[in-house]
Amino acid sequence: DWTMEAYRDQAIAAIREQVGDAHVICGLSGGVDSSVAAVLIHEAIGDQLTCVFVDHGLLRKGEAEEVVTMFRDHYNMALIHADERDLFLGQLDGVSDPEQKRKTIGKLFIDVFQKHADTIPNAKFLAQGTLYPDVIESVSFAGGPSVTIKSHHNVGGLPEKMGLKLVEPLRELFKDEVRALGAELGLPKHFIGRHPFPGPGLAIRCPGEITREKLEILREADAVYIDQIRKHGLYDEIWQAFVAILPVRTVGVMGDGRTYDFACALRAVTSVDGMTADYYPFSHDFLGETATRIINEVPGINRVTYDITSKPPGTIEWE
Ligand code: XMP
């Protein structure tokens, strides 16, 4: 696709022009967007780039290892793996309001980036994988009045005191274009095809208070659900699929005994750009089999529901 090739060359020239001989810090989340941004910037400026991958304790099962291995070992990029699980989970303790969660996480990300930027000589820029829909959705909602639906922590600029300027090379692109650019840059196919994962991570899939116990249960349930989707060959048909753990325990029966465990909700949607979405029409067989597997394989969950809300009126994430 020579159009994407032209876009890539133009983007590389623009990055070189913007940053000159300064150093760039790139927040790497492991998602497609920040990964494509990092590889693009790496092509443009090589070792003037340092990536910071923040483990906020809100990642999926195995995610930190996967991301670090890919970027450090296969791309040979300077990568700081910041284990900040205690910091984030500590500050989120007792927080149940969705916007409060987003704001807390956004602020801590900035603090962590700043801490590392301070140790890197000539660090003058912070790069992010902000996409066009992120920019739009944080100011208005598809044709409706101009209201903030959710604070995307990666939109809206940086605090003045930070003294870093933003580099956002994907700001004009939609998701499918980012994937095409990623392919152009040679990122592995399975990586480019990954479902979107939000910056605030599992925090917004855990309505109510976040606890380590709930996060652990959520990670296990999500891994089983995604495994089911892959085994049935449905992963690429779905825009995004995940489990949300509900802030409620329900009564069940297992063998001879009574259980009193968490309920969870499965979410899967089709979408073109994340701005609108339809729930995915799984077969009842698939849903039944998946519920059985989750309840048998994940201690702590004894009830599984399927979320059949489209967007609008729902959003894709639960918070
Ligand atoms: P919603 O839930 O608003 O999500 O329908 C639309 C798309 O955006 C993702 N999302 C985020 N991505 N930071 C991100 O990087 C965020 O704060 C954020 N909130 C939602 C969501 O996963 C979906 O793909």
Residue 123 sits in the same domain as residue 16:
yes
Q: Of 126, 157, 192, which residue constitutes the final position of a domain?
A: 192
Q: What is the position in ligand 1's atom list of the atom closest to the CA of 195?
A: 24
Task: Give per-residue pLDDT as tens, 109-129.
Answer: 999 999 999 999 999 999 999
* 140 and 248 assigned to the same domain: no
Task: Based on the fold, state whether residues 287 and 182 are members of the same structural domain.
Answer: no
134 and 33 in a common domain: yes
Using one digit for the tens of pLDDT, what is the confidence trace for 209-267? Answer: 999 999 999 999 999 999 999 999 999 999 999 999 999 999 999 989 999 999 999 99
Spatial CA neighbour of 204 closest among 56, 310, 36: 56
Same domain, residue pair 93 and 22: yes
pLDDT above 90 for 154: no
Average pLDDT score over residue span 65-90 = 92
Q: How far apart are the first and last CA of the chain?
A: 37
Say if 203 falls within a structural domain: no
Cα(128) to ligand 1 centroid in Å equals 15
Per-residue pLDDT for 29 more than 90? no
Q: Are 128 and 228 within one domain?
A: no
**Ligand 1 mean position to 206 CA, how many Å?**
14
Instruction: Tell me the C-alpha distance between 115 and 109, whole Å.
Output: 10
269 and 188 inside one domain: no
CA distance 201 to 63: 11
What is the domain-level CATH number for residue 260?
3.30.300.10
| Lowest mean per-residue pLDDT among 135-144, 237-246, 302-311 | 135-144
- Can you tell me the ipTM of this complex? 0.99
- Judge whether 249 and 261 are in contact, CB under 8 Å: yes
Domain annotation covers residue 268: yes
Name the residue range of residue 287's domain.
211-306
Asked whether residue 198 is domain-assigned, the answer is no
CA 256 – ligand 1 centroid, Å: 42
Give a yes or no: residue 105 inside a domain: yes
For 196-247, give the DSSP string.
P--TTGGGGGS-S---HHHHHHHHHHHHHHHHHHHHTT-GGG-SEEEEEEEE
Residues 171 and 222 in one domain: no
Cα(280)–Cα(291) distance, rounded to whole angstroms?
16
Report whether 83 belongs to an annotated binding site: no
Phi, psi of 177 (to 5 degrees): -75, -35
Q: Whose CA is nearest to atom 7 of ligand 1?
A: 274
Which candidate, 290, 279, 284, 319, places its Cα nearest to that of 221? 290
Is residue 153 predicted with pLDDT exceeding 60? no
Both 221 and 130 in one domain: the answer is: no
Whether residue 204 lies inside any domain: the answer is no
Q: Among 143, 165, 192, where does a domain finish?
A: 192
Question: Does the annotation list 310 as a binding residue?
Answer: no
* Whether 186 and 215 share a structural domain: no
Domain boundary among 192, 221, 245: 192
Q: What is the mean pLDDT of residues 183-199?
A: 92
Task: Give the pocket of ligand 1 (CB within 6 Å).
Answer: 102, 150, 152-154, 196, 198-200, 240, 274, 311, 315-317
Atom of ligand 1 minimally distant from the CA of 106: 17
d(CA 108, CA 219): 22
**Ligand 1 site-directed mutation target among 34, 128, 132, 152, most atoms within 8 Å of CB:** 152
For ligand 1, atom 19: residue with the closest CA: 198
How many domains is the chain partitioned into structurally? Answer: 2
Q: What is the CATH number of the domain that holds 49?
A: 3.40.50.620
- In which band, very low, low, confident or very high, does the pLDDT at 283 lie, cut at 50, 70 and 90? very high
Q: Encode 289-301 in three state secondary structure.
A: HHHHHHHHHCCCE
Q: How far is the CA of 33 from the centre of ligand 1 (A)?
A: 12
The answer to whether residue 141 scores a pLDDT higher than 60 is no
Mean pLDDT, the chain, whole residue set: 92
Residues 155 and 217 in one domain: no
> pLDDT per residue over 42-69, tens digit each?
999 999 999 999 999 999 999 999 889 8
- For the segment 65-91, the average pLDDT, to the nearest whole number, is 92
**Is residue 155 domain-shared with residue 253, that is, in the same domain?**
no
pLDDT of residue 13: 98
| Residue 135, domain member (yes or no) | yes
